[in-house]
Chains A and B, each alone.
Chain A
């Protein structure tokens, strides 16, 4: 099996690479992990990881700077329906629109938008940084053998709001309810960072690898 981690200059991906490698070593899983922006390699891979750090606007712009990448990802995830995991802004980009800095068009894979978390008149700090408890909203393959209320690591100020609740697989409580993960057929997304979420995060990565 080949897993492609998309390198589109959207921030630091070394932790993502390290975590996938560590899971493969500890579970003795033989797969090839490639960090790439090569369209052919992406098309030929079995699974794709779409990381993303910084702003929605920067990430979507960086994605568009690589000619053909958006179409290749679309073909991979929507037409060929192969498993894709978006992490943090990588997940947020599944939305139709983002409202960070200015209104920006997303990939439009899961209808909805990305808006700033309500800090309730500065009663809550933003970014929402740290460990929060997962509250499951629907059954998810990513959370196989993961307990409800497990802690995972977040760092974000914006939230993904899918129009259709059915695609929300978990939420967390902060200043308001926030979507922690989404799942739609072969599309998986986490607002939190599984690569930084200790043993729980590694389990989630293992679940994705073993889909």
Chain B
């Protein structure tokens, strides 16, 4: 049977790991390659890097980080952050990324997901949706949560599926960094409306939140950052916990 995946996410800036609280106040938590190796040994089902490097001249650093990670870790590696074009995707894949996650450009360039999934295959195209609740709906934001778009999250998710996305990474802007747990309503609403796998993200503060993401959010995979970074829980502990609650995981 297919197992639910646990994906630790590392925010990377200028080649170093950081994790933001509500996308600001960054703290340094080390070298991404070393962290990825630890996660991989501890049983991470995939590893995710979000490159938040702002300046163009420093963007090249990520390619070296990816290259060194893929030479040392033999689980899938997803990389996102600032991906704008087919050329960007190609460079990330050649460096050793297995999947590329696309956020702002999926909204701004309406053909990018169609073109990239055709060129590289749906298996490597993840669309990252940052959503914020607005009345009874959710609206998507771009540019790391800074730009309001007025686009409905569920409509957009369906469109991305049609365009060939292989997976959707759903982050609740309301929950990200709060440690209050995933926005289960958001995750499950999108899950009901698409037939591709959903990765839940944003807000994990304890192991029960991971359980809720799968059990009630119906996510295929659960992504978390800070609970794994600062040694609060290991991936192994998380998996043992989920296993004890009847969630199928790879142990």
Contact = CB atoms under 8 A, between A and B. Distances in A.
A153 B2 contact: no
B1 interface: yes
**Could you say which of A119, A129, A195, A199 has the most chain B C-beta atoms within 10 Å of its C-beta?**
A129
B217 to A, nearest CB: 13
Nearest to B121: A54
B137 interface: no
B123 A155 contact: yes
A58 B117 CA distance: 12
A121 B158 CA distance: 17
Interface of B: 1-5, 40, 45, 70-72, 74-76, 93-98, 120-124, 166-167, 195-198, 220-221, 250
Contacts of A131: 2-3, 5, 45, 250
A109 interface: no
Given A196-B74, A201-B74, A53 B121 contact: yes
B76 A125 contact: no
A198 interface: yes
Interface residues of A, number: 39
Given A14-B70, A196-B74, A198-B74, A130 B5 contact: yes
A130 B121 CA distance: 16
A131 B195 CA distance: 18
A98 to B, nearest CB: 14
**Could you say which of B40, B76, B94, B124 has the most chain A C-beta atoms within 10 Å of its C-beta?**
B76
A196 B197 contact: no
30 contacts: A11-B124, A12-B120, A14-B70, A14-B95, A18-B71, A21-B71, A22-B71, A53-B123, A53-B124, A119-B195, A125-B196, A125-B197, A127-B122, A127-B123, A129-B123, A129-B166, A130-B2, A130-B221, A131-B250, A132-B2, A133-B3, A151-B3, A154-B2, A155-B76, A155-B123, A195-B74, A196-B74, A198-B40, A198-B74, A202-B74
Is chain A's interface secondary structure helix, strand, loop, or mixed overall? mixed
Q: Which 6 A-B pairs have the closest CB atoms?
A: A54-B121, A12-B93, A131-B250, A155-B123, A151-B250, A125-B197
Contact of A174 (B1, B40, B94): B1
A11 B121 contact: yes
Is chain B's interface secondary structure helix, strand, loop, or mixed overall? loop
Contact of B195 (A125, A129, A153): A125
**Could you say which of B4, B97, B121 has the most chain A C-beta atoms within 10 Å of its C-beta?**
B121
A196 B197 CA distance: 19
Contact of A198 (B3, B75, B96, B196): B75
A192 B70 CA distance: 18
Contacts, number: 104
A126 interface: yes
A84 B29 CA distance: 43
Contacts of A127: 122-123, 166-167, 196-197
Contacts of A18: 70-71, 74, 96
Contacts of A181: none
B1 A133 contact: yes
A50 to B, nearest CB: 16
Given A129-B221, A130-B220, 4 more contacts: A53-B121, A119-B195, A125-B220, A198-B75
A11 B40 contact: no
B195 A122 contact: yes
Contacts of B70: 14-15, 18
Nearest to A126: B195
A32 B123 CA distance: 30
Interface string A16-59: 00110110000000000000000000000000000001110010
